[in-house]
Amino acid sequence: MKTETLLDVARVRRDFPIFSRSVRGKPLVYLDNANSTQKPRAVIDAERRFYETGYANIHRGVYLLSQEATEAYDRARERVARFIGAASPNEIVFVRGTTEAINLVAASWGRKALAAGDEVLISEMEHHSGIVPWQLVCEERGASLRVIPVTDEGELDLAAAERLFSPKTKIVSLIHVSNALGTINPVEAIVAMAKARGVPVLLDGAQAISHGPIDVRALGCDFYAFSGHKLFGPTGIGVLWGRESLLDAMPPYQGGGNMIHTVTFAKTTFAPLPFKFEAGTVNIAGTLGLHAAMDYVDALTWPAIEVHERALLDRMLAALGEVEGVRLLGAPRRRVGVVSLTVDGVHPHDAGTVLDAEGIAVRAGHHCAQPLMARFGVPAAIRASLSFYNTPEDCDALAAGLRRAIEVFRG
């Protein structure tokens, strides 16, 4: 193993101010990264500098502050395009997050393309934001959802996926990495199935974006969505990437300032891409924070991140395997550091409360994936999720905390 692929985790943790604090008198063990990641000082400083020394609204301002802010905003769009391998910055639409990105496609593309009897293909492991927007537009247009089932191992049934395609299939909307199981889905295979039938594909990249490099052109999809706060950036900023030809043909998602070319009471004409989809005052500071987050991740390098996170996942799985009564949901062959589990005789919320008393932050609930929880026969689960600033000791602390929960509730 080459040394340049290894992270200096102690140094990395010093870049994140939150790790200098304690929680309930204990060192913070943050294992809720699938929900939202912590922020390095570089991201915090980027937003602070903008508000302290360079704040102005973008576009149309002829004064210096506005011109500088506009240029910084444009550079952020170019940075995102490079980060995910987009062909052009015009394919990058800034939104509030993955949820809004999927809603945009469902509302804009869906209302135009779907008709009565058409089908939208999703999977059983989708986040609610990959289910509800399509349900809404299907109900409106008279279309229906078809669902790719999940195996006991927590993987998509590819044979079933192939069978679910039909002449009525108009789009595939698929989570790239499961937010509940950590499964890395075989999206290339499903994209190939779709392309053979001329069906576009939207990938929900909310969980994938912080665990490895993304190249949207190599993936072959038509839309890709992710949130900044999952990538060590600010909340309230996200990205929809779409093929320029598709975005250009789609009607606006919202109306207002910034997305127009001309307005009269008789007719409105719209701005070119990507501004057609960015109505109103956007989260300018958020785009600058996202730019800084991408710079930070690239400086660490993906090979180093992937090697470290793989070692952490192995450590966590081994540690959890030694805790009697712990049941893991699924056992996918390809996964990131996201693990959902139950503990015999202990409710997930009770276990989460005990873990919190030990300074350990995990998620307890259905993880916005109620159909997937039903598939595994549980109403809720504990979810522990890793990032590159976690340590082997964090994994051991989780196992010790679960043993403590078992002692408290089972005696």
C-alpha–C-alpha distance, residues 42 and 143, integer Å: 46
DSSP annotation string for 55-110: ----SS--SHHHHHHHHHHHHHHHHHHHHHT-S-GGGEEEESSHHHHHHHIIIIIH
Residue with tokens 């809603």: 103
Active-site residue flag, 368: yes
Give, as one character, the DSSP assignment of residue 408: H
Pair 203, 176: CB distance under 8 Å: yes
* Of 138, 221, 368, 395, catalytic: 368
- Taking every pair of Cα atoms in the chain, the longest distance, rounded to a whole number of angstroms, is 74
Burial annotation 387-404 (CB, 10 A radius, 16+ → b, else e) = bbbbbeebbebbbebbbb
Across 156-288, the runs of DSSP E, i.e. the strands, are 169-175, 201-204, 223-227, 238-242, 260-263, 268-270
Alpha helix ranges (H) inside 96-222: 98-104, 110-113, 132-141, 158-164, 187-196, 216-219
- Catalytic residue IDs: 368
